[in-house]
Amino acid sequence: DTAVSQTPKYLVTQMGNDKSIKCEQNLGHDTMYWYKQDSKKFLKIMFSYNNKELIINETVPNRFSPKSPDKAHLNLHINSLELGDSAVYFCASSRRDSYNEQFFGPGTRLTVL
């Protein structure tokens, strides 16, 4: 009955590889987000989608491509992984009219070797 779920929980990969992280929410929310938490625990938004439409796209390298097949899913694909991509990635969701109250997934710890 998890509200916002992410897979995988841990991801270890080599530089240059391409990987994806999946996110699903069963809260009926219209808006979904991806955040990156660096090694100093600083959290920063990367993207947000509202009903499959890109709303926020921060200054993220274009190696990162979010994909929203439907409003319950927002996947993050990363091409040509770099060492600096190592971080914890959090997915979140909210109601369309209440972006202030976001529900977060458990996070995916990505380690690039």
Q: Count of CB atoms within 10 A of residue 64's CB?
A: 18
Q: Does 51 bind other proteins (CB under 8 A)?
A: no
The span of 14-22, 40-48, 60-68, 70-78 binding other proteins (CB under 8 A) equals: 40-48
Of the candidate residues 25, 50, 75, 93, the single one contacting other proteins (CB under 8 A): 50
Please give the distance of CA 27 from its chain centroid, rounded to a whole number.
17
Of the candidate residues 1, 14, 39, 41, the single one contacting other proteins (CB under 8 A): 41
| Dist. CA 78–CA 90, nearest whole Å | 14
The H-or-E segment that residue 11 falls in is: strand 10-13
- Pick between residue 14 and residue 42 the one whose CB is nearest to other proteins: 42
Of the candidate residues 93, 105, 110, 112, the single one contacting other proteins (CB under 8 A): 105
Residue 73 makes CB contacts below 8 A (sequence gap 6+) with 22, 23, 24, 25, 32
DSSP symbol at 88: E
Of the candidate residues 71, 78, 102, 110, the single one contacting other proteins (CB under 8 A): 102
Query: Which residues would be at the binding site for other proteins (CB under 8 A)?
Result: 4, 33, 40-45, 48, 50, 55-56, 90, 92, 96-97, 99-107
